[in-house]
Amino acid sequence: MSITVVGSVAFDSITTPSGSRERCLGGAATYFALAASYFTPVRVVAVVGEDFTAAEEAVFAARSIDLNGVERAAGKSFFWAGNYLNSLSEAKTEQTDLNVFADFNPRIPREYLDTQFLFLANIDPVLQLRVRQALPAARLVCGDTMNYWINDHREALLRVLPQMDVLLINDTEARLLSGESNPLRAARRVLELGPRALIVKHGEYGATAYFGEGIFDGAVRLPFRSPALPLSEVVDPTGAGDSFAGGFYGYIASQPTLTPAVFRRALFYGSVMGSFTVERFGTERLQKLSRAEIDARFEQLRQISHLDTQTD
Amino acid sequence: MSITVVGSVAFDSITTPSGSRERCLGGAATYFALAASYFTPVRVVAVVGEDFTAAEEAVFAARSIDLNGVERAAGKSFFWAGNYLNSLSEAKTEQTDLNVFADFNPRIPREYLDTQFLFLANIDPVLQLRVRQALPAARLVCGDTMNYWINDHREALLRVLPQMDVLLINDTEARLLSGESNPLRAARRVLELGPRALIVKHGEYGATAYFGEGIFDGAVRLPFRSPALPLSEVVDPTGAGDSFAGGFYGYIASQPTLTPAVFRRALFYGSVMGSFTVERFGTERLQKLSRAEIDARFEQLRQISHLDTQTD
DSSP string, B110-128: GGGTT--EEEE-SS-HHHH
> Which residues from A are below 8 Å from B231, CB to CB?
182, 184
> How close are the terminal C-alpha atoms of chain B, in Å?
39
> Which residues from B are below 8 Å from A224, CB to CB?
304-305
Residue type, A215: I
Return the closest-CA partner of residue B240 out of B282, B209, B292: B282
> Which residues from B are below 8 Å from A259, CB to CB?
312
At residue B217 the predicted structure's pLDDT band, cuts being 50, 70 and 90, is confident
Q: How far is B226 from chain A (nearest CA, A)?
A: 6
> What are the φ and ψ backbone dihedral angles of B109, each rounded to 5 degrees?
-60, 145
Which residues touch A307 (CB under 8 Å, ≥6 apart)? B261, B264, B265, B268, B302, B306
User: In this complex, do B223 and A304 lie within 8 Å of one another by their Cβ atoms?
Assistant: yes
Q: How far is A118 from chain B (nearest CA, A)?
A: 25
Distances, alpha carbon B119 to alpha carbons A22, B34, B57, in Å: 52, 13, 21
pLDDT at B218: 66
Distances, alpha carbon B97 to alpha carbons B31, B56, B282, in Å: 19, 19, 18
CA angle B190, B245, B37 (to 5 degrees): 155
CA A69 distance to own-chain centroid: 18
pLDDT at B90: 87
Residue B216 clears pLDDT 90, i.e. is over it: no
B285 CB burial (10 A radius; 0-12, 13-18, 19+): buried
**pLDDT cut 70: percent of chain B above it:** 98
Q: How far is A10 from chain B (nearest CA, A)?
A: 29
Residue B29 clears pLDDT 80, i.e. is over it: yes
Residue type, A288: K
pTM above 0.80, yes or no: yes
* Average per-residue pLDDT for chain B: 95
Give the whole-angstrom CA distance, residue A295 versus residue A298.
5
Return the closest-CA partner of residue A1 out of A120, A139, A128, A169: A139
CA A228 distance to own-chain centroid: 16
The pLDDT of B229-246, averaged and rounded, is 96
Residue B304 clears pLDDT 80, i.e. is over it: yes
Q: How far is B257 from chain A (nearest CA, A)?
A: 13
Residues of A with a Cβ under 8 Å from any B Cβ are 88, 181-185, 187-188, 202, 204-206, 208, 221-227, 230-234, 259-261, 264-265, 268, 300, 302-308, 310, 312
User: In this complex, do A310 and B223 lie within 8 Å of one another by their Cβ atoms?
Assistant: no
How do strand B78-83 and strand B92-97 relate by DSSP bridges? antiparallel
Q: Collect the ranges in chain A with pLDDT lower than 70.
A: 218-220, 309-312
Give the whole-angstrom CA distance, residue A283 versus residue A95.
20
Helices and strands in chain A: count of H runs, count of E runs: 11, 13
ipTM score here? Answer: 0.92
B182, B231, B268 member nearest A232 (Cβ) = B182
Give the whole-angstrom CA distance, residue A205 versus residue A271.
10
Question: Domain B3-303 sits in which CATH superfamily?
Answer: Ribokinase (3.40.1190.20)
pLDDT tens-digit readout, A93-107: 999 999 999 999 999
Return the closest-CA partner of residue A72 out of A88, A83, A56, A61: A56
Give the whole-angstrom CA distance, residue B195 versus residue B198.
7
User: In this complex, do A305 and B304 lie within 8 Å of one another by their Cβ atoms?
Assistant: no
> Which residues from A are below 8 Å from B188, CB to CB?
232
Which residues touch A111 (CB under 8 Å, ≥6 apart)? A68
pLDDT at A51: 97
pLDDT at B221: 84
B204, B226, B260 member nearest A312 (Cβ) = B260
Which residues touch A149 (CB under 8 Å, ≥6 apart)? A122, A124, A125, A156, A157
Contact B143, B164 (CB under 8 A): yes
Greatest Cα pair distance in chain B: 61
Residues of B with a Cβ under 8 Å from any A Cβ are 88, 181-185, 187-188, 202, 204-206, 208, 221-227, 230-234, 259-261, 264-265, 268, 300, 302-308, 310, 312
Return the closest-CA partner of residue B259 out of B200, B215, B206: B215
Nearest CA in chain A to B265: A307
pLDDT at B215: 84
Give the whole-angstrom CA distance, residue A123 versus residue A7.
6
Nearest CA in chain A to B308: A261
User: In this complex, do B300 and A222 lie within 8 Å of one another by their Cβ atoms?
Assistant: yes
pLDDT at A304: 95
